[in-house]
Chain A
Amino acid sequence: MDGETPGLFTAVVAVARRDLLLAWKRPGDVLNPLFFFAMVATLFPLAVGPSNEQLEFSGPGVLWAAALLAMLLSLNSLFVSDFEDGSLDQMLVSPQPLPALALGKTLAHWMTSGLPLVLVSPVVALTFRMPVAVVGVLMLTLLLGTISLSLLGAIGAALTVGLHRGTALLSLLVLPFAMPVLIFGARTVSLVATGDSVAGGLYFLAAYAVLIVSIAPFATAAALRISNE
């Protein structure tokens, strides 16, 4: 009866790997938020009218709001299945630090929701007549912003796991905190369209992601412990 506790890094990677494998076996969970994103982005021109000028002007805002909602949609299921099938119990009694496991899960969540959004955003952006340079900045802001959204969202998902009516509550908890990301993400893209400097906005998004990555795993872990009591 020997054997040592596997290292921290092994644990983070293993959790992320397991969730990616699960996503691979159930591709709908990844694709649905993407369709949702594309659909919200389609709704807008239909609702407002096909005026090119208006589309160019509102494109960054619409895409960012749609991305935020799509992220929110995918957050619901983040911890629910682990909570229901007892996996969360097993993670909580493992010798691994819970924040590391939470980080691994968040990482997988970002790779299955944030990253695909970044990758499909150019296609949707082109329908809003966005120039290539602007699309590049859009992808960059989404890349930085969705990291923060995954991390923030994980806290909310951990707080609401196991509650009835958790869905609406999750949005209510996460959306106010997501405002800075939305504001800086969308405004930075508009700035490049008017030819202004975008460095400030990108720096903010990066700094925010760093700040949140240093807080969120601990908050998520604490919330999971409380929710699983």
Chain B
Amino acid sequence: MTAQLSGHDLTLFRGERCLFRGVEFALNPGEMLLLEGLNGSGKTSLMRAIAGLLEFETGEIRWHGEPTRVQRQAFHDSLVWMAHRVGFKADLTLTENLDFEAALRPSASADRDEVFRRLGLSRLKRLPLRSLSAGQQRRVALARMLLSAATLWLMDEPVTNLDRDGRRLVAALVQEHLVRGGMCIMAAHQDVQIEATVHRVLLQ
């Protein structure tokens, strides 16, 4: 059986520096992939390359057994990415930003107000993002994930800037996503407590 998402013989260069070589992984619904390694070991770059923003020197990512580069749209249909930077406009409000988001990618049937309540953003939805704290901005990025219909979550250090409640919330959200048959690739310093099959890739 082929895994739903897999990476084969992945080698990545940044400039002249080799970040990693021959990385392999396989991921199926309900499972999680944890990218581990020190700062600068290439976790973020690996994630960007999985998403298709960087080119691997060798190897490829396969989605349902087919290379992602020949089915970019189908792959991106099922992918949502929580990066370091929120990727929203600081001058626009949460609602305006999410309206734009909804025109870009498939939306989940989840109710927006419900999601805001869960993330503790209800009172903030009419403020420009500029006025939110770093932790609140992380929650805003979580809102994007919850409101998208994507099955594959890419999360780059999702718990940075979050307090303990926030960290617990992230763990719970990922857990629910996996139980529903979703997948998650996470790069994290701190261990996140999640009950699921967790694969690991250690980058030196």
Q: Which residues of A contact B (CB under 8 A)?
A: 1-6, 10-11, 13-15, 17-18, 21-22, 25-26, 81, 84-87, 89-97, 225, 228-229
Contacts and interface: CB of A to CB of B under 8 A. Distances in A.
Interface string B17-56: 0000000000000000000000000000000100111110
A85 B81 contact: no
Contacts of A84: 85
Contacts of B108: 1-3
A3 B102 CA distance: 10
Q: Which of A5, A15, A81, A90 has the most CB of B within 10 A?
A: A90
Nearest to A24: B91
B105 interface: yes
Contacts of B180: 1
Contacts of B88: 85-87
**What band does the interface of chain B fall in when counting residues whose beta carbon is under 8 Å from A?**
35 or more
Interface of B: 48, 51-55, 73-74, 76-77, 79, 81, 83-92, 96, 99-109, 128, 149, 151, 180, 182
A95 B105 contact: yes
Given A18-B100, A85-B90, A93 B81 contact: yes
Given A3-B108, A18-B100, A93 B89 contact: no
A3 B106 contact: yes
A133 B107 CA distance: 52
Q: Which of B79, B100, B102, B103 has the most CB of A within 10 A?
A: B103
B121 to A, nearest CB: 18
A84 to B, nearest CB: 8
Q: Which of B73, B79, B104 has the most CB of A within 10 A?
A: B104
B87 A5 contact: no
Nearest to A225: B53
A89 B109 contact: no
**Main SS of chain A's interface residues?**
helix
B154 to A, nearest CB: 8
B106 A89 contact: no
A86 B83 contact: yes
Contacts of B96: 18, 21
Contacts of A2: 106, 108-109, 149
B181 to A, nearest CB: 8
B105 A94 contact: yes
A228 to B, nearest CB: 6
Given A2-B109, A3-B109, A11 B103 contact: yes
Q: Which of B54, B92, B105, B107 has the most CB of A within 10 A?
A: B105
B69 to A, nearest CB: 12
Given A5-B105, A94-B105, A95-B76, 9 more contacts: A3-B109, A6-B102, A6-B105, A85-B87, A85-B88, A86-B85, A92-B52, A95-B104, A228-B53
A189 B109 CA distance: 56
Given A5-B77, A89-B83, A18 B106 contact: no
Nearest to A1: B149
B160 to A, nearest CB: 14
Nearest to B181: A1
Contacts of A5: 73, 77, 105-106
